[in-house]
Amino acid sequence: MSGPIISDGWVGRIIDGRFALHEWLGGSGSSGVFRTDLPQPITKRTAIKLIPVEGAQADAYVAGWAKAEMLSHPHLIRVFRAGRFHFGSIGLVYVVMECADEVLAQILPSRPLTTDETREMLAPVMDALGYLHEKGYVHGHLKPSNILVVDDEVKISSDGVGAGGRRNRFDALSVYEAPEAESGVLSSASDVWSLGVTLVETLTQRVPQWERKSGRAPMLPEGMPPVFAEIARDCLRLDPDERCSLAEIKARLEPNKPIAFPAAAKKETGSDDAVAAEERGSGQDSGQRKIPAAPLALGLMAVVVIAAILMMRSCAKQDATQSAGSESVPAQVTAPPATSGGGKSSAQVAPAAGVSGAASSAPTEKRLVEKGAVLEQKMPDVAPQARRTIHGTVTVAVQVEVDASGKVTDAGFKTEGPSKYFARVALEAARGWTFKPAEKSGEAVPSAWVIHFKFRERGDEATAVEERR
């Protein structure tokens, strides 16, 4: 059937009387994915997928999702609920599952993964596939759009998992599906074929050249590293019995500890708007890090703390009053570089532009307006593997609303950028800041600030600018 067009215009609708569509996450026109909520006590970020189908197709989807609810593996997207319902005369099916932070398919248009990143991405993917195969299931549609990151962990989708021996799908076949899929037969070897195609695309940004009816094996793009090219060829053999196994692939790769693939930052160009590319696999080669970051950051932090103490002593000697003409100058704070996030530290207050360190010559009467200041800041908690991927600077600007007590009451993005990972950790950190409230006529008043986070491989920096009192 030709289903309705599902788009961001559906935001605000309620599915099956209990799942509100909060945010459009993407889709294909006839299907769509939205952010939604599950009833308490489940607090995980969740997404709901809608597909307009009826009859046998609807039965197949719901039956498959019911089985997926019973699966549990750390590298498999968890399915929470599934069902079917009607919008008037429109029949739809839905599945509620974990909401991904990033998708491999969003990264590859910008750049391929490195060989080390590919090894580390493959390890959790193969672990999840091995789990499915042991349970008698076949994934059936492994490809970059179904390799995701949830809370810094690589996972594969589970909403299309089917029982081995038959093809439990109605989609058109593509290069990711093995030759035998045309007859409706699936096996663990079919997933190995899909893994081979995904491996090629991950390293080259191109899929192998292959015509299903040609009777010839796929042709690999040039430039693949030899060990990966050999694995890909053995995955892409036309005869399922001749393909390599997951155990054989693992033995060739000797994978390291599985980690996620956050975004690689673009090279810094001198602009504060330099941002990361889409979230991707693990870090760069450790050999590139010639100087240990932690000792350097500790030394810099000591210097900053001493400077802050001296500045505070100098400011204490200044006249407590200044002219109202200084009101338009924004207050700023700068966080010292840090190689590990999540901690709180005292703010370093930077002198406002046009104000010298000497005593002010402003009138001695009490100012009507007094700017606020940062009392305590929380730096983002960046995973080590995420930090290793930064080659320049990743910037995120978060606007926060501060009440009269100096606490953050609301936070949102002023500049989010395409990297959801760094945006998320910046937003979480911004909510933990506290401020000395601004004052008008001696009374504390609410204010608004913009916190500019800059992520670098050797440390992070945060600068807060007061925008409104």
Instruction: Tell me the pLDDT tens digit for each residue of 210-254.
Output: 998 888 999 999 989 999 999 999 999 999 999 999 999 999 987
Would residue 338 count as lying in a domain?
Answer: yes
- Please indicate, yes or no, whether residues 112 and 141 belong to a single structural domain of this protein: yes
Say which DSSP state 326 is in: G
Tell whether 263 is covered by a domain: no
Residue 106 sits in the same domain as residue 37: no
Contact 49, 33 (CB under 8 A): yes
Residue 451 has pLDDT above 60, yes or no: yes
Please indicate, yes or no, whether residues 53 and 90 belong to a single structural domain of this protein: yes
Q: How far apart are CA 153 and CA 281, in angstroms?
A: 10
Say what percent of the chain tops pLDDT 90: 42
Within a domain: 336: yes
Residues 92 and 50 in one domain: yes
* CATH number, position 456: 3.30.2420.10
Alpha carbon distances (Å) from 371 to 148, 260, 267: 44, 42, 36
Query: Which residues, including other chains, have CB under 8 Å from residue 466's CB and lie 6 or more apart?
Result: 330, 331, 371, 372, 438, 447, 448, 449
The pLDDT score that the predictor gives to residue 129 is: 96
So what's the pLDDT on residue 437? 87
pLDDT at 466: 87
Q: What is the pLDDT of residue 35?
A: 93
- Burial (Cβ within 10 Å: 0-12, 13-18, ≥19) of residue 310: exposed
The predicted-structure confidence for 65-76, as pLDDT tens digits, reads as follows 988 899 999 999
In a domain, 392, yes or no: yes
Domain-located, residue 383: yes
Q: Work out how many domains the chain is built from and give that number.
A: 3
Average pLDDT over residues 447-459: 88
Q: Is residue 201 predicted with pLDDT exceeding 70?
A: yes
Cβ atoms 322, 360 nearer than 8 A? yes
| Domain end residue (candidates: 82, 98, 114) | 98
- Residue 358 placed within a domain: no
Q: Is the pLDDT score of 28 beyond 50?
A: yes
CB distance 462 to 335 below 8 Å: yes
433/307 same-domain check: yes
Confidence of residue 275 (pLDDT cuts 50, 70, 90): very low
Q: Considering only 158-162, 201-205, 362-366, 403-407, which range has the smallest mean pLDDT?
A: 362-366
Is the per-residue pLDDT at 64 higher than 80?
A: yes
Range(s) of the domain holding residue 145:
102-253
For residue 308, tell me if it sits in a domain. yes
Asked if residue 133 and residue 88 are part of one domain, the reply reads no
Q: Is the pLDDT of residue 144 over 90?
A: yes
CATH code, domain carrying 223? 1.10.510.10
pLDDT surpassing 90 at residue 115: yes
C-beta separation of 258 from 127 below 8 A? yes
Same domain flag for 37 and 86: yes
CA distance 213 to 430: 56
**Segment among 36-50, 151-165, 356-370, 431-445 with least mean pLDDT:** 356-370
Q: Which tokens is 190 given?
A: 């079919």
Burial-class residue 41 by CB neighbours within 10 Å (0-12, 13-18, 19+): exposed
Distance of CA 214 to CAs 82, 185, 219, 235, 238, Å?
40, 19, 12, 18, 11
Share of the chain above pLDDT 70, in %: 70
Q: What is the pLDDT of residues 43-59, one digit of tens each?
A: 678 999 999 988 888 88
pLDDT at residue 423 tops 80: yes
Residues 345/379, Cβ–Cβ less than 8 Å: yes
Residues 53 and 153 in one domain: no
pLDDT at 432: 93
Token duo for residue 24:
């459009």
pLDDT of residue 350: 38
Strand, helix or coil at 459? strand
Predicted confidence at residue 163, as pLDDT, reads 60
Model confidence band, residue 347 (pLDDT cutoffs 50, 70, 90): very low
In a domain, residue 233? The reply is yes
- Residue 8: what pLDDT? 87
Tell me, yes or no, whether 399 and 309 share the same domain. yes
Amino acid identity, residue 227? V
| Residue from 5, 114, 23, 43 nearest 420 by CA | 23
